Amino acid sequence: MSIKHIGKQTMLFQNPPSVIGSACVVGKKEGEGPLYASFDSINEDSYFGMETWEKAEMAMQKQALSLALNKASLPAGAIQYIFAGDLLNQCIGSSFGMRDSAAPFLGLYGACSTMGESLALASMTIDGGFADVTAAVTSSHFCSAERQFRFPLEYGGQRPPTAQWTVTGAGALILSASGNGPYITHATIGKIVDAGIKDNNNMGAAMAPAAYDTLRTHFDDTGLEPSYYDLILTGDLGSIGHSVVVDFFKDDGIDLSAIYQDCGLMIFSDEQDVHAGASGCGCSAVVLAGYILNGMRAGRWKRVLFAPTGALMSPTSVQQKESILGICHAVAISTEIGA
């Protein structure tokens, strides 16, 4: 078998694709948080100038891709394949957001793990020799997510302390077979993990076992120690899920705390009253596309393991008493290759 497949679930890229452009677009609340300086566009209007929140989400994706292309100094026609997904029913944020892209389109559903899934597949497409330039795009919107997954906003439902706040934001990354990095070096594709959690106001606990499983497998498959990375970053586990992952690794005799963070704990400040943290496909996408990749380019981190998690469920599956399934895809990003 090829050396591109290592261990059980990990792809090792021989010619690691380079991130040649990344951009993130967010809403007002995200713009008031600690990462405000890393966002390319902050919109005060939750409708982003559109008639509905769903159309706002479509507009965010379109804008994020356009800004990422500008940063990569590429015309829209340069993208050979777009990998995109979101949380909305039938992923309409992505299909309508990418409608005018004129690029071959591969729709994904990975819930909040989507930026991990899309980066893995976009990288595989390049390293496999099938394309020179690909894109990974995703989004979420607080208002479209609340009314789809929970209650109409007008109802004013109370949020328990375990609840997380869906990020309004879209992120886009452009990958290329040539470039100066940061580079995508590995992808570990996650299995579905059913921890038996049925409370859709406690997504962090439902997803944390999947995060542990994928991270553990990544280290086993690659033979790398967690300390190889300057930063290990889950997507939107929030405070509860983050502490579960720390505890799981502690049981393995590994103290992750110095290098492990969660995007859901970074994007809002404590004063912003989001309870257990942030969530949504857009959460990890905008933190990666802005703060993390900017930091890597500036030399703050050399090696980052980006591991967004998704909760695979729908209101229908919850009503039918199914548990909330977790999944996590890990993508290793490095400013240096060939070391």
Interacting residues toward its own copies by CB under 8 A: 1-2, 4-5, 9, 11, 51-52, 54-55, 80-81, 85, 87-92, 94-96, 98-99, 101-111, 117, 120-121, 124-125, 127-132, 148, 189-192, 194, 312-317, 320, 322, 325, 327
Closest to its own copies by CB, 76 vs 161, is: 76
Closest to its own copies by CB, 53 vs 183, is: 53
| Shortest Å, Cβ 49 to its own copies | 15
CA atoms within 13 A on the CB side of 261: 16
Distance of CA 90 to the CA centre of its chain: 18
Q: Quick one: DSSP state of residue 68?
A: H
Alpha-carbon distance of 196 to 93, in angstroms, equals 29
Closest to its own copies by CB, 52 vs 180, is: 52
| Shortest Å, Cβ 268 to its own copies | 25
Closest to its own copies by CB, 56 vs 265, is: 56
| Shortest Å, Cβ 76 to its own copies | 12
| Shortest Å, Cβ 188 to its own copies | 8
Longest dimension (CA), the chain: 56
Closest to its own copies by CB, 33 vs 204, is: 204
Strands 10-12 and 5-6: antiparallel
| Shortest Å, Cβ 98 to its own copies | 6
Three-class SS of 147-199: HHHCCCHHHCCCCCCCCCEECCEEEEEEEECCCCCCEEEEEECCCCEECCCCC
| Shortest Å, Cβ 103 to its own copies | 7
113 and 327 Cβ atoms separated by less than 8 Å: yes
Strand partners, 310: 327
Closest to its own copies by CB, 142 vs 291, is: 142
Helix axes of 238-251 and 203-222: crossing angle, nearest 10 degrees: 40
Closest to its own copies by CB, 129 vs 157, is: 129
One-letter amino acid for residue 327 of the chain: I
Nearest partner of 40 among 294, 321, 311, judged by Cα: 294
* Residues whose CB is less than 8 angstroms from the CB of residue 6 and which lie 6 or more positions away in sequence, other chains included: 12, 221, 222
| Shortest Å, Cβ 235 to its own copies | 15
| Shortest Å, Cβ 8 to its own copies | 8
85 and 310 Cβ atoms separated by less than 8 Å: no
Distance of CA 122 to the CA centre of its chain: 14
186 and 299 Cβ atoms separated by less than 8 Å: no
Alpha-carbon distance of 190 to 316, in angstroms, equals 24
Task: Provide the 10 A C-beta neighbour count for residue 248.
Answer: 18
Closest to its own copies by CB, 160 vs 315, is: 315
Cα four-point dihedral sign 197, 198, 202, 208: positive
Closest to its own copies by CB, 92 vs 254, is: 92
| Shortest Å, Cβ 194 to its own copies | 6
